[in-house]
Homo-oligomer: A and B are copies of this chain.
Amino acid sequence: MDRIIDKMHEAGIKVILGTPTYSIPAWMWHQHPDILLTYQKGGKAYYGIRQNVNYTDPDFLFYAERIIRKMMEHYAKHPAIIGYQVDNETTPRDINNDNFQAMFRNHLKEKFGTVEALNKTWGLQYWGMTINDWDELAPRDGITNTAYKLEWERFSRQAVTDYLQWQTRLVREYKRDDQFVMQCYMPSVQEVDQRESAKEMDMMALNVYHGYQDDLKGDEIAFAGDYFRSVKKGVNYLVTETNAQTIGWNSRSQQPPYPGQMRQNVYAHLGSGANMVEYWHWHSIHYGQETYWKGVLSHDLQPNRAYAEVTKTAGELEKIGKKLVNLKKENKVAILFSHDSNEGINFMPFDQGGSPWENNPNDYYRNQLVAQFHRILYRNNIGVDFVFPDDDNYDQYDLLIIPSLYIASDELLEKINTYVRNGGHVIMQFKSGFCDENSMVRPMMAPGPLKEACGFHYQEFSNFRTMALKGDPFGAGSEHNKVSTWAEYLICDTAEPLAWYDHPYLGEYPAITVNQYGKGSLLYQGCLLSDTLQERIIRREMDRLNLTTPDQQLRWPLITKSGKNEEKNTIRYYYNYSSEPREITYPYNRATELVTGKMVEKGNKLTVNAWDVLIIEEPAR
């Protein structure tokens, strides 16, 4: 390690040092076989892979602390080292070891105080499963109670938080003031509480992987950027890992980038607010599981097409990078993201095609509902942030999008009501407000505390495959005028129906409503809209609220991102996510394209080549 870091320093390469805790050495497993993960229903982890350790195990924590302290003592002074990463892509890992079960029971004692309180809050009397003593609480394996399962997932996220905070504090004891601490998070954002776990870190960092070739759309890059930028507001983030040549744990998904795609991706990250892009990894590995997770260099260790494109991009960044970093955005639209709602829906899923008897958590909330809203905003070039249940900044936004907020406390629902009452505008999806924070269905007329803001009530709901909206009210065309999956039987009180189901019986209930409430409005979707319908609804609201900008004249595969740089100038990126050159009409003030240095005037026709990007700096006025 000394040799390598010294060599890096000599070559002018800066080093971020990671704590080496995500893969344990063979001797540790051999001396402490119980250190490995136990899963539910007798499943267990085996040695031979990384991230197989129970990171709440005392033996493991002993060795982890020892190596972190030794490493920090030795390296903190090294001039090459600019910062630290704690662990790697930490997730809850479904720990089910006995010590974790005990920790969970202790957590419950602390949170609920008495078994009587637990029995009542969780409804354990159903099927006669009340407990008389904490020891009678069964392990997670066969549990059906949704409140138990929800709390278990919270506690599992808390374990990640505790572990990363513990490592962060250890590193902070030794690090220099000019060095930072961070962790490389994954874009499967539902797994971890990013805000809590990064509280004592200096910045966010993330590892984003995606398809290449015709599968490169830029969605994942934009989603990750928007999300992590919102976790630590005002601090730009790092991309610590992303695709170099190809990815995959076998040879089934090799997709070397088309010419231009690697370079375009760097600017896609910067346009979303990244301050750094690193590749996993430098050269391709000749052994083991990640043989086909190729680096910038192939196994031959020779210069190649990828290396040439990285070199070209790095040269550009040397020239113009200062103008691109620390980009700041002021978005008018936000999506409310609820970890609890993701889990609550996991345990009572409503997606199509699955069994009514068995549930395999599929993160439908994250991967379908939230992803659809974000994808449509992205493809229409509408800048978006995320907000979270604990945030108190909703009123910074003109439009708040609320995907199925299945799990929510009264307090959160009241915060939404207040936001609307005070002039905010909401697009809300079905099932919002259905359960309280313990997964109890509210024993009141749905949508419970949201009833007034929504302007309707309902007592019934139905799954179904697909239906049309009567009369195609949004002009989506017969192929796209489709709703699916879920329908609430809304009965309007003060709300105005916007669309009706085309169905002999459900036809008497509106599919979409809008309600004026206080100074704001709430548009409600009682069913799952097709992408086209969702796009029509969102653009309609954007127009209605005067939020539409010239950016909405473009649509994917032409993507634009913008923000203000350190000089307060506006940086505008124009990306072409296709294999054909495309033309845009520049709609803003006189500016400079930074790569070519050419002047650009309002109304100019500009060509964006295939998988290319224009980077335009418009001076602050």
Contacts and interface: CB of A to CB of B under 8 A. Distances in A.
Contacts of A338: none
Contacts of A445: 300, 302
A461 interface: yes
A250 B256 CA distance: 42
Given A249-B356, A302-B459, A23 B128 contact: yes
Chain A contact surface mostly: loop
A535 to B, nearest CB: 26
A114 interface: no
Interface stretch (A184-192, A365-373, A435-443, A593-601): A435-443
**For A46, A128, A144, A251, which residue has the most chain B Cβ atoms within 10 angstroms?**
A251
B356 A250 contact: yes
A308 B359 CA distance: 33
B287 A252 contact: no
Contacts of A357: 249-250
A287 B250 contact: no
Interface in A264-303: 284-292, 298-302
A11 interface: no
B446 A299 contact: yes
Contacts of A579: 504-505
A264 to B, nearest CB: 14
A251 B131 CA distance: 28
Contacts of A46: 41, 138-139, 141-143
A290 B441 CA distance: 11
A47 B138 contact: yes
Given A49-B144, A441-B284, A505-B259, A462 B213 contact: yes
A599 to B, nearest CB: 32
A380 interface: no
A255 interface: yes
Interface stretch (A347-355, A469-477, A492-500): A347-355
Contact of A305 (B130, B252, B460): B460
A129 B355 contact: no
A129 B356 contact: no
B26 A130 contact: yes
A252 B356 contact: yes
A586 interface: no
A146 B286 CA distance: 10
A553 to B, nearest CB: 27
A304 B284 CA distance: 65
A252 B364 CA distance: 12
Contacts of A130: 25-26
21 contacts: A25-B130, A26-B131, A26-B136, A26-B137, A27-B133, A30-B136, A30-B138, A45-B142, A46-B143, A48-B129, A52-B142, A123-B288, A145-B287, A145-B289, A248-B356, A250-B359, A252-B356, A252-B463, A254-B462, A286-B441, A287-B441
Given A20-B128, A145-B288, 9 more contacts: A24-B128, A25-B128, A26-B131, A27-B132, A46-B142, A47-B139, A252-B355, A256-B460, A505-B579
